[in-house]
Structure 1
Amino acid sequence: MVIIERTNYKGNPNIGVFVFATDKFVLIPSDSDEKFSKLVSKTLQVPVIRVSIADTSLLGIFIAGNNRGVLVPHIVKDWEFRILKNSIDVNVEVVKTRFTALGNVCLVNDKAALIHPEAYEELKKVVVDVLAVETVEKGIIAGFPTVGSIAFVNNIAGLVHPDANENELEYLSNTFQVPFDIGTVNFGVGFIKSGLVGNTKGILVGDRTTGPEILRISKVFRVVTS
């Protein structure tokens, strides 16, 4: 069974801003304390790798990827890129695009990718080549072009901003080949990515996430509270 846990990063409940996870590894900020590192590793059941992007801890904002590859923006430092290349056994590619917040403009699992309409032409080829998805589309969901910020998807299910309508839920479900539902995190926040990070083994949510929100997330991703 998949586990769900509440946590924060240095008192900040927006953990999806700082953490990036796959079924093979999880990336956390270099300055994360040991307690946070152990909780993340135990919940997601994968090794933890400490890294920064552009000398910041904003890994979830800057990184997009899946179980086959990781995309990082051109502002990544050479030594940060080397850490990633040497630490993870998937393709790692620097993307030369004006859109540096790759995690906000790309929504990705192992089947498909949905990209911010203005970023689509710049990113679609590298997404196919590095992440090896079957489908790459561009679109706006619930009125937001930053599709990576308003939703989270893995190979089990997806959760999206509560303003998404039934047609959009059906579209997302068909595109990513997993069921989607609406929800919130951190006491009513619709930007799901900001307060949720996970893989098919575990889910971490910000510690302001309420009991009813966790129940909904648990139902969507078939998780259990620990």
Structure 2
Amino acid sequence: MANRLTFTDHGEIGLICNLTNTYCLVGNGGSKNFYSSIEAELEDVIPIIKTSIGGTCSVGRYCIGNKNGLLVPHTTTQEELQHIRRSLPDGVIVAPIEEGLTSFGLFIACNDHVALAHADLRWEFKELITDVLGVEVFMPEDSYSFFSGTYCVLSNRGGLIHPNASKKILDEYSAALEVPFEPGTVNRGSVCLNPGMTVNDWTAFCGSSTTKSELCVIDRVFKLREP
């Protein structure tokens, strides 16, 4: 089931964490209770990597990853890059992106098989996503790009999307990405889903202000109560 957390004074957990099925990156600077909650859920299953990216704790905002690889921005320092590479499981590819875009988590949602990317991303970057993350890249038409990245969260079991998404968009995304999509919110009505939460195939972390009804939707969409 989904877990509610607070990082310092806010609940934008998706900006601080990047959770996958094989590792969890989490930003430095949180409280002991914050890290102990994550460790209680993940410590015996996957590595938890405390780090910064470009000197900031917002690792979920500045990287995108899955079980196959991790893309980090050009602002990542050599020390940070070395620490991340040493800490990741064997076989996970790490690639810094030598271009201006840095906030990958606000433009791209991905699981282990497919990525949902904003239509304005350059073609070369689309190829890099495919090469490093080992996924197909779905770039919806411009009128639907609003729902990519910030307003969508994706796992191998489901997708949560902005509550204004029409049935047509839900059906198109479900067919293209091969997971069921449902509309929802996090953190007491926030439509900024990716900044507000992070998820893998068996658990999720979201802000402490997330309501019980929002948690129920998250658990149902991502099938977190199923084996």
Taking only aligned residues, the RMSD between alpha carbons, in angstroms, comes to 1.7
Match of 1:87?
Answer: 87
Q: 1:1-226 maps to which residues of 2 (within 5 A)?
A: 3-44=1-42, 45-89=45-89, 90-133=92-135, 135-139=136-140, 144-145=145-146, 147-224=148-225
> Which whole-Å CA distance do the structure 1 matches of 2:187 and 2:5 have between them?
11
Cα offset, 1:78, TM superposition: 0.9
Distance 1:208 1:70 in 2: 29
Aligned pair count reads 221
User: What is the SS of the residue equivalent to 1:223?
Assistant: coil
**C-alpha separation in 2, matches of 1:68 and 1:175:** 21
CA offsets 1:46-70 (integer angstroms, 9 cap, x no match) = 3211100010011111011111100
Are the counterparts in 2 of residues 71 and 92 from structure 1 also a CA contact under 8 Å? yes
Moved segments of 4+, more than 3 Å: 140-146
The 8 Å contact of residues 4 and 205 in structure 2, kept in 1 or not, is answered as yes
* TM-score normalised to structure 1 length: 0.91
Give SS of 1:60's match: helix
Unaligned runs of 5+ in 1: none
**Deviation (angstroms), 1:146:** 6.7
Distance 1:137 1:203 in 2: 24
Which has the larger displacement, 29-38 or 94-103?
A: 29-38
Name stretches of at least 5 consecutive residues in structure 2 with no aligned partner: none
The alpha-carbon distance between structure 1 residues 10 and 120, as it changes in their structure 2 partners (threshold 3 A), is: same
Structure 2 counterpart of 1:107, which letter?
A: A
Change in Cα spacing, 1:123 to 1:198, as seen in structure 2 (3 Å) is same
d(CA) in 2 for partners of 1:146 and 1:216? 18
Contact 1:169 1:181 in 2 (8 A): yes
SS at match of 1:31: coil
Distance verdict in 2 for CA 1:70–1:191, change over 3 Å = same
Q: Structure 2 length as normaliser, TM-score?
A: 0.91
Cα separation, 2, equivalents of 1:178 and 1:141: 21
Contact 1:149 1:194 in 2 (8 A): yes
Q: Is the 8 A contact 1:120 1:138 kept in 2?
A: no
Q: Which stretch has the larger CA shift, 9-18 or 34-43? A: 34-43
Q: Secondary structure at the match of 2:149?
A: coil
Q: Give aligned-pair identity as a percent.
A: 29
Seen in structure 2, the aligned counterparts of structure 1 residues 79 and 103 have a Cα distance that, compared at 3 Å, is same
